[in-house]
Chain A
Amino acid sequence: MTEPSVHRILDQAFAGIELTPELQDLKEEMRTNLLARVAELESLGRSPDDAARVAAEEIGDLRAVVVDAADGATEPPAGSWAAQARLASMHKVRPRPAAVAALVVLSSALTATVTLIALGATGAVVMSTVSATLVGLAGALLTCAIVVVALRQETTAHYPVPPARAVGWGAAAAAGVLAVALGATYAGDRTQDGLLAATVGLAVVSIAGLVTLGVTQTNRTKGWVRDAAVQSQDRFSRDPAAAARFGIYSGVVWLAALAAAVAIGLGLGWLWSWTPLVVAVLVEMVLLARMQFPSETRGE
Chain B
Amino acid sequence: MPSHPASDPFAADLLRGHTDTIVLGTLRRSDRYGYEVHKAIRDATGGEYEIKEATLYASFRRLERDGLVESYWGDETQGGRRKYYRITDAGQAVYRRNVADWRTTKQIIDTLLDHEGGRP
**A interface vs B, CB < 8 Å?**
25-26, 28-37, 40, 54, 57-62, 64-65, 68-69, 72, 90-94, 96, 154, 222-224
Q: How far is the CA of A92 from the CA of B89 in the complex (A)?
A: 9
User: Contact check: which of A29, A54, A60, A93 meets B52 at CB < 8 Å?
Assistant: A60
Contact with A along B80-110 (1 / 0, CB 8 A): 1111000011100100000000000000000
Q: Are B54 and A32 touching (Cβ within 8 A)?
A: no
Distance A93 CA – B92 CA, assembled complex (angstroms): 11
Q: A28 near B35 (CB under 8 angstroms)? A: no
Contact A154 B89 (CB under 8 A): yes
Contact A57 B3 (CB under 8 A): yes
Measured between beta carbons, the chain A residues less than 8 angstroms from B3 are 54, 57-58
Tell me the bound Cα distance from A91 to B91 in angstroms: 10
CB-contact partner of B82 in A32, A37, A54, A92, under 8 A: A32
Given A62-B54, A65-B57, are A90 and B66 neighbors across the interface (CB < 8 Å)?
Answer: yes
- A30–B72 Cα distance when bound, in Å, is 14
A60 and B66 alpha carbons, distance in the complex (Å): 24
A69 to B58, alpha carbons, bound, how many Å? 8
The answer to whether A58 touches B89, judged by C-beta atoms less than 8 angstroms apart, is no
Minimum distance in angstroms from B86 CB to a CB of chain A: 9
7 smallest CB-CB distances across A and B, nearest first, come from: A60-B52, A60-B54, A32-B80, A91-B67, A33-B35, A36-B35, A29-B83
Whole-angstrom CA separation of A38 from B32 in the bound complex: 18
Across the interface, name the chain A residue whose C-beta is closest to B36.
A36
Beyond A32-B79, A33-B34, A64-B58, 4 extra complex contacts between A and B, CB < 8 Å? A32-B34, A32-B82, A35-B80, A60-B52
CA distance A107 to B65 in the complex (A): 36
Q: A58 and B52 in contact (CB under 8 A), knowing A37-B35, A69-B61, A91-B90? A: yes
CA distance A90 to B65 in the complex (A): 8
Contacts of B38 in A (CB 8 A): 33, 37
Known: A33-B34, A223-B70. A92 touches B90 (CB 8 A): yes
Q: Is the CB of B61 within 8 A of A72?
A: yes
B33 on the A face (CB < 8 A): yes
Q: Is the interface of A mostly helix, strand, loop or mixed?
A: helix
Closest CB of chain B to A220's CB: distance in Å? 12
> Nearest Cβ in chain B — how far from A171, in angstroms?
26
Contact residues in B for A60 (Cβ distance below 8 Å): 52-55
- Which residue of chain A lies nearest to B52 when distances are taken between CB atoms in the complex? A60
Residue in B58, B66, B79 whose CB lies within 8 Å of A65:
B58
> Interface 1/0s, chain B 21-35, versus A by CB < 8 A?
000000000000111
In the complex, chain A residues whose CB is within 8 Å of the CB of B39: 40
Q: Report chain A residues within 8 Å CB of B80.
A: 28, 31-32, 35
Q: For residue A13, give the distance in angstroms from its CB to the closest CB of chain B.
A: 9
How far is the CB of A51 from the nearest CB of chain B, in Å?
A: 12
Among B34, B39, B57, B71: residue with most chain A CB under 10 A:
B57
| Residues of B close to A59: CB separation below 8 A | 52-54
Report Cα–Cα, A276/B83, bound state, in Å. Answer: 60
